[in-house]
Amino acid sequence: MMDFKYIDGGVCAAQGFKASGLYCGIKENPTRKNDIALIVSDVMCNTSGVYTQNKVKGAPVIVTKNNLEKTGGKAKAVIVNSKNANTCNADGEEKAYKMCSLVADEIGIAPEEVVVASTGVIGQILPIEPIVKAVPELVKKLSYDGNLDAATAIMTTDTVKKEYAVEAVIGGKLCRIGGMAKGSGMIHPNMATTLNFITTDCAISSEMVKSALSEIVKITYNCLSVDGDQSTNDTCMLMANGLAGNAEIVSDGEDYKIFKDALYQVMANLTKMLAKDGEGATKLLTCICSTAPDLDTAIIVAKSVICSPLFKCAMFGADANWGRVLCAIGYAEADFDITKVDVYLGSSAGKIKVCENGSGVEFSEDEAKKILVEDEIEIYIDLNIGEASATAWGCDLTYDYVKINGDYRS
Amino acid sequence: MMDFKYIDGGVCAAQGFKASGLYCGIKENPTRKNDIALIVSDVMCNTSGVYTQNKVKGAPVIVTKNNLEKTGGKAKAVIVNSKNANTCNADGEEKAYKMCSLVADEIGIAPEEVVVASTGVIGQILPIEPIVKAVPELVKKLSYDGNLDAATAIMTTDTVKKEYAVEAVIGGKLCRIGGMAKGSGMIHPNMATTLNFITTDCAISSEMVKSALSEIVKITYNCLSVDGDQSTNDTCMLMANGLAGNAEIVSDGEDYKIFKDALYQVMANLTKMLAKDGEGATKLLTCICSTAPDLDTAIIVAKSVICSPLFKCAMFGADANWGRVLCAIGYAEADFDITKVDVYLGSSAGKIKVCENGSGVEFSEDEAKKILVEDEIEIYIDLNIGEASATAWGCDLTYDYVKINGDYRS
């Protein structure tokens, strides 16, 4: 995979995308943090989304799916609020449609060309009045560098805003892909996790947008776990407006490959940010499973380690309790020989082997401690039976996770 | 299901079972808490076990399976240690066999008639010398009321010993079933969880022992989750010595039904104790899923709620965040209509409906708080599509869980 140049701008990095965000008061909040965001493309976008697989689906998920079905995967705008998930409410869909028509009326497009998303507490009636008042102002504030206002408006328990963008030459033209994400708790790898909005000016057909998104989601957001709870509102949206002027990507080939690699850069970096900002997290955990017989096995094993509460606690305590890694590998539902497995722990402070052929090896506890007190820890697993590899991202389990979630609603 | 009379005695409640326990020093411990236990039956027992499905299996699990295979499901003794799991060690099986032969030599039986189990830290060499010294003393101490010494010897992070026993008239004879269990963390419902030893004087064939155990494990230990980690050493053993003198149960029928009901009482109560003593737990959570289309669906849904870290945190905070219950129901991998689901929360302080037809209903937050500050909380889920029901047990997720597991090895 080639290197891509990081650029600023988040969802506004690509040409022709404006954004804005502001505080409208969906939930009373003395700090007046932004709670509503708008993204608008100057021209129509080929758009594809992946959504939660939870049977309980937020009303906005249902409405966005309906809208994109109606337009055949075309959209021009995104409206998204935080603080209230608009889920499990009798009037949820009505209000999600209302959010679309408010935007459509204000900027003069069809309501079904609007993508809608919400995040926050489940099961509380969404107050629509603040949104009615906010939409004209959001439209007025739209700008080609409004990405930061938008990125902060979708935060819930997030402690930092999450944006990433790269540029790449595709078909001889400079293209940009950028995105923003939110998510901190209720994150578990099964379909796109949390809210993610990716924009690009690359010209690429609806079909290839869909295919690229689903392929890259599988090895990025779907390899992320904070706590094992799969949200009701997960939405990941990719919008391509074609303004870079490259020859439209309509099939597999070199251009498509570069596009996917660039998309991976954006989505993998957002995934890493989501993991690192997991609720209460003090450490980013990255688990790399290599020499697996196939990609799915590598993913399953890497995820199993990232999801283990006991291992997550051990990392919080900087305790080289490799038995817990091996235990989590052992209950991964995949086919491999545990007696061939090697495990290493690493960080910027070094790398040590802790397990060989499924059994412990002697290592220096002092050296292990030095490695594990760092903020970013890598766990390397070699299955020693093939050539596939995958990465999964997570975080440690801490007092603060419990604190944050012991009384989230108040 | 009929009521059974609770009796004292744990693993010694049934006739002809002696037990003992003592501190031998497997891990240096100034408090000299018991760390090794022995159970011996006066006569041969029809014995069946269920074990962890983790690919990483403790050496004792492998040895016990081999032994029971050799004897065709007969055993007379159990030796079990805590503080060291004897797992992922190159010499693990050798030492587990040694534990069997030490007991066999001392009491004059064949080594393969001994069941062996270990629990504790994974991947540290088991010191055999303390066990060599302990076995003669353990045999000397064996007594018909040694159950408490044994039950305390298998504790790791457990804060209380777990014993339960009942009596029942089967085939005109008074029979007893009793057991002891350990387990606090690394508990997840998939095959028998933790260490459990159940003894009975009921006369019942090997085949029916096996069948009863697997049926009751499914609806008791396998419906228990503390933290989602499945241990490497899980073992649940049922030993029947026939001394009650009833006509041997050799097939399905009234006697078998009473036996299973009595076994359920013992195993469900031990399961409840395990959940309540989950690492760091302050609350027992019992989730009852009713009106399900079939037993498997009821189990899957009830377990999904019990396993949700976010819901477990909300219960720690006594927060009636029913959206998290519905969210966890929604990602349960089973077939039902979420728009028919009702949810109630209850405890000794009352019971309230929080969700009807998949949407929230108004309820008094004050009343909810009163219910949720209690130590034992019930979550009732009605799927409203059938007649099956199941119960799952768990606990809240607390600061202390993180504390205990942040540095378990030291």
pLDDT at B86: 92
Q: Which residue of B has its CA nearest to A306?
A: B229
Taking CB atoms and an 8 Å limit, are B331 and A85 in contact across chains? no
**Type and span of the H or E element at B405:** helix B399-406
**Model confidence pLDDT, tens digit, residues B145-157:** 999 999 999 988 7
pLDDT for B215: 94
Average pLDDT over chain A reads 91
pLDDT at B409: 54
Tell me the average pLDDT across A52-68. 90
pLDDT at B389 over 60: yes
pLDDT of the residue at B192: 31
Which pLDDT value is given to residue A330?
87
What pLDDT band is residue B367 in, cutting at 50, 70 and 90?
very high
Sign of CA dihedral B257, B258, B261, B262: negative
Q: What is the DSSP letter of B91?
A: T
**In A, which residues are within 8 Å of B229 by CB distance?**
308-311, 324, 327-328, 331
CA nearest A173: which of A253, A89, A259? Answer: A259
Residue B310 is nearest to which of A186, A322, A336, comparing CB atoms?
A: A186
Q: For residue A87, which residues of chain B lie inside 8 Å, CB to CB?
A: 323
Q: For position B407, what pLDDT does the model report?
A: 65
Q: Which helix (H) or strand (E) holds A212?
A: helix A206-219
Structural contact between residues B179 and B10, judged by C-beta atoms closer than 8 angstroms: yes
Pairing of strands A114-118, A74-81: parallel
Task: Quote the pLDDT of residue A410.
Answer: 44
Tell me which H or E stretch contains A331: none
Residues 383-402 of chain A whose Cβ lies under 8 A from any Cβ of chain B: 397-399, 401-402
Determine how many CB atoms are found less than 10 A away from the CB of residue A169.
15
pLDDT at A227: 66
Provide the pLDDT for residue B111. 98
B286 is catalytic: no
Question: What percent of chain A has a predicted confidence (pLDDT) above 70?
Answer: 95
User: How many Cβ pairs within 8 Å bridge chains A and B?
Assistant: 200
Mean pLDDT of A386-407: 87
Tell which of A122, A308, A315, A366 to mutate to test the B interface (max B CBs under 10 Å).
Answer: A122
Q: A-chain residues within 8 Å CB-CB of B405?
A: 309-310, 313-314, 317, 397
Residue B6 has pLDDT above 80, yes or no: yes
Classify A298 in phi/psi space as left (phi over 0), alpha (psi -120 to 50) or beta. alpha
A296: left (phi over 0), alpha (psi -120 to 50) or beta: alpha
Contact A56 B89 (CB under 8 A): no
Range B347-373 average pLDDT: 93
Nearest CA in chain B to A190: B331
pLDDT tens digits, one per residue of A237-277 = 999 999 999 999 999 999 999 999 999 999 999 999 988 88
pLDDT at B387 over 70: yes
Residue A193 has pLDDT above 50, yes or no: no
Contact A88 B326 (CB under 8 A): yes
Cα torsion at A381, A314, B197, B285 (round to 10°)? -120
pLDDT at residue B154 in the model: 93
Of A90, A227, A406, the CB nearest to B316: A406
pLDDT tens-digit series, residues A349-386: 999 999 999 988 889 999 999 999 999 999 999 999 99
Gap between the terminal Cα atoms of chain A: 46
Contact B86, B60 (CB under 8 A): yes
Q: What is the pLDDT of residue A331?
A: 83
Q: What pLDDT, on the 0 to 100 scale, is given for residue B38?
A: 98
pLDDT for residue B229: 65
Report the alpha-carbon distance of residue A60 to residue B314 in Å, rounded.
25
- Host H or E run for residue B282: none
**pLDDT category of residue A186 using cuts at 50, 70 and 90:** low
d(CA A257, CA A211) in angstroms, rounded, equals: 12
- pLDDT at residue number A120: 85
pLDDT band with cut points at 50, 70 and 90 for residue B185: low
Estimate the share of chain A in helix, then strand, then coil, as percent rounded to the nearest 5: 35, 30, 35
pTM score: 0.80
Token reading at B182: 């350990």
Beta strand extents in A293-338 (DSSP E only): none
* DSSP 8-state symbol, A111: G
The mean per-residue pLDDT over the stretch B147-169 comes to 93
pLDDT in tens, B254-277: 999 999 999 999 999 999 998 888
Q: SS3 of A158, please? A: coil
Flag whether residue A156 sits within 8 Å of chain B, measured between CB atoms.
no
Residue A364 DSSP symbol: -
Kindly state the average pLDDT of the residues A148-168.
Answer: 93
Task: Provide mean pLDDT across the span B30-54.
Answer: 93
Q: Which of A64, A119, A193, A235 does the annotation list as catalytic?
A: A193
Contact A18, A145 (CB under 8 A): no
Residue B322 near chain A (CB below 8 Å)? yes
For residue A354, the chain B residue with the least C-alpha distance is: B123
d(CA B118, CA A42): 67
Q: How many whole angstroms separate alpha carbon A299 and alpha carbon A388?
A: 10
Which pLDDT band holds residue B59 (cuts at 50, 70, 90)? Answer: very high
Running DSSP on this structure, what letter comes out for residue A105?
H
Taking an 8 Å cut-off on Cβ atoms, the answer to whether A397 and B402 are in contact is: yes
**Residues A183/A194, Cβ–Cβ less than 8 Å:** yes
Q: What CA–CA distance (Å, rounded) separates B246 from B244?
A: 6
Closest chain A C-alpha to B111 CA, distance in angstroms: 26
Please check whether residue B383 is in contact with residue B340, taking contact to mean a CB–CB distance below 8 angstroms: yes
Decide if A229 touches B, using CB distance below 8 A.
Answer: yes
Model confidence pLDDT, tens digit, residues A267-313: 999 999 988 888 888 999 999 999 999 999 999 999 999 988 888 88
Nearest CB among A307, A405, A410 relative to B313 is that of A405
Can you give the pLDDT at residue B323?
84
- Enter the tokens of residue A173: 């033209």
Lowest mean pLDDT among A50-59, A144-153, A157-166, B361-370: A50-59
CB-CB: which of B229, B316, B404 is closest to A402? B316
Task: Give the A window 354-373 contacts with B, CB below 8 Å.
Answer: 355, 358-360
- Kindly determine whether residue A88 and residue B329, on different chains, have CB atoms separated by under 8 Å: no
